[in-house]
Amino acid sequence: MAVYSVSTFFYWVAIQVIYPYELDYGEGIVLWQAQHISHPAIAYAPIAHYPFIVFHYTPLFQLTSLAVSEITGNLLLAGRLVSSISTLGICLTLAWVVYRTAPARASRLSAVGGAIFAATLPCGLNVMKWAPNMRVDMLGLWLCFSGLTVFVLARNTAQRFCAFALFVAAVYTKQSLVTGAVACLLVASIMNLRQSIKMLAFAASLGGAILAALEVSTHGEFIKHIFLYNVNRFSIGEGIHNLVSNINSPILLIELSAAAAAFGPIRDAARAFSQRNAATLRARLSANPYDLAVFTFTIYFMLSVLVSLTSGKSGSNYNYFLEMNLSACVLASLFVVRLDWNCRMDRMTRVSSEYALAYLLPILILGQQFIAAQNRFSFFIPVMRENMAKKAQNSEALERILKNSPEPVMSEDMTLLYKAGKHVPYEPAIVTELAATHAWNETPLVDMIRNRAFSVMVVGFPDRFYSPAVWRAIDENYRPAGTYAEYERDYTLYVPAR
């Protein structure tokens, strides 16, 4: 089942990677960012004048994609390869940390089984549909989980400083990826407060130096783009709703197993602090890699649950649950290894509830993963490939229209603009949020539309990505000239009204 789930998942990823057009709305703007990142002052330019583009991420993913494109010759393919390879890296990193931190007396078979279990679990998660997209998350998460792994397995202070260098790299891939660093700082403060302060100072100094360099190279625009222009409307109710929706059947048993694994560390920490005796807890964490791994990933899991509530932010997607679900995979795998070890240590001669749980739990979870993989990937792959081929023809038709239309042109599918050799005038979702929060004056854009400056406009979601003023201007000055079904949405071509 494990081999089937992993191979089917990565076969599906490979099909997505080579698709020549948009997979996800956000790919287009990240593609533009990667195209311009070699000139930071242009990439992070003021948004008060045309083009109205926010560079809403830190730049490491875009730089990596640009470097890989020197090999592929195709920037979109390069970005997807970076994400897909990072996904494989995450699976292998989870396997490695579980294998290396298995209880000392656990059998080699238990450790290997736990590692395979950890590598397999992500491949059945709904959120891993994000894996092939040209988006920043998978590279950032690989760096984050690598930092956690190095921290847990570190044998000396220098190695733990390396972990924090990886955390800084994760933050400069996606600025919100701070949870892993915070978790390790909390654990380090319990183990050695003075050392944790040094680690914090090191990370702050390294990150601050990079921040200063970026601020200078962008003439003071970098912080504005990644923070001030990234404040969207927010609903805590929507965040809670999304969190509940994330706990579907394939993840439920994993989350329950993670919670069971987390119970011991939470109890031990509560006891240590209530009795004002952290020495025992500190000794356990310092002496036992398994306890350190479970404790660290428990804190990380708890923090990531809180962070997932930010999915109430307007424009959020299921990628907001990647940290939470992947950390649960680690804890669930460590829990299964511990159960198997307990059963072997007790030399059980009869079937007990714990013995049954040790062997039935992974079978149940992998069974769910198997069914999920079959339903989501294997069964639908022939139909999916046929539909993708048909929709690629529509995308190609739109690409030709854009290529043959004079600048400026506008398209929600910004990968089409890249392929047609056109400029991106603005990113609809972000400028709509900026206008709604009064962080940007949309009058210049509205005036361009009223003056019919755009020779064509490709629109997919008029109810989501356009403010009332912008959509009114489009509706009054443009007329629909055809509908084109693309990968996961339909686009309408608008031309100036006569």
Whole-model pTM: value is: 0.91
Residues 204, 318 within the same domain:
yes
**393 shares its domain with 371:** no
Tokens of 179: 């949870």
pLDDT in tens, 477-494: 999 998 888 766 789 999
Residues spanned by the domain of 489: 382-496
DSSP helix/strand/coil, 28: helix
Q: Is the pLDDT of residue 350 over 50?
A: no
Please indicate, yes or no, whether residues 89 and 158 belong to a single structural domain of this protein: yes
Q: What pLDDT was estimated at residue 351?
A: 46
Burial class (CB in 10 A: 0-12, 13-18, 19+), 47: buried
Q: 315 and 224 in one domain?
A: yes
Q: Tell me the pLDDT tens digit for each residue of 372-408.
A: 666 655 545 666 777 778 888 888 999 999 999 999 9
Beta-strand relationship, 410-411 and 457-459: parallel
Instruction: Please name which of 22, 231, 252, 221 lies closest in space to residue 126, comparing C-alpha atoms.
Output: 252
Same domain, residue pair 430 and 321: no
Containing H/E element for 480?
A: strand 478-485
Give me 381's structure tokens. 């792959």
Task: In whole angstroms, give the CA distance from residue 47 to residue 52.
Answer: 5
Same-domain pairing of 369 and 450 = no
Assess whether pLDDT exceeds 60 at residue 346: no
How many whole angstroms separate alpha carbon 158 and alpha carbon 144?
Answer: 18
Tell me, what DSSP letter sits at residue 405?
S
| Residues 278 and 172 grouped into a single domain | yes
Q: Which of 344, 379, 414 marks a domain boundary?
A: 379
| Best CA proximity match to 475, nearest among 461, 489, 496 | 496
Between CA 170 and CA 455 the distance in angstroms is: 40
**Considering the chain, what percentage of its residues have pLDDT values greater than 90?**
56
Q: Final residue of a domain: which of 358, 379, 400?
A: 379
Same domain, 387 and 362: no
Q: Identify whether residues 110 and 183 lie together within a single domain.
A: yes
Q: Residue 194, Cβ neighbours under 10 Å: how many?
A: 8
Q: What is the mean pLDDT of the chain?
A: 87
H helix and E strand count, the chain = 22, 4
115 and 208 housed in the same domain: yes
Q: With cut-offs at 50, 70 and 90, classify the pLDDT of residue 13.
A: very high
Is the pLDDT score of 316 beyond 70?
yes
Please choose, from the candidates 20, 8, 22, 58, the residue with its C-alpha nearest in 3D space to the C-alpha of residue 37: 58
Question: What's the rounded Cα separation, in Å, for the pair 347 and 355?
Answer: 10
| 265 plus 282 within the same structural domain | yes
Selected residue with higher pLDDT from 450 and 366: 450
Question: Which helix (H) or strand (E) segment is 389 a member of?
Answer: helix 381-403
Tell me the per-residue pLDDT of 200-246, one tens digit each, with 9 for 90 and over.
999 999 999 999 999 999 999 999 999 888 877 778 888 887 787 77
Rounded-to-integer distance, Cα 304 and Cα 323, Å: 6
One domain for residues 365 and 389: no
- Total domains, the chain: 2
The angle subtended at Cα 320 by Cα 315 and Cα 322, nearest 5°, is: 150
Checking if the pLDDT of 462 tops 70, the result is yes
pLDDT by residue (tens digit) across 58-87? 999 999 999 999 999 999 999 999 999 999
State CA 232 to chain mean position distance: 18
Mark which of 379, 394, 417 sits at the end of a domain. Answer: 379
Could you tell me which of 36, 15, 24 has the C-alpha nearest to residue 319? 24
For residues 249-260, average pLDDT = 75
Report DSSP letters for 249-289, one per residue.
HHHHHHHHHHHHHHHHHHHHHHHHHHTT--HHHHHHHHH-H
Give phi and psi for 456, each to the nearest 5. Answer: -145, 155
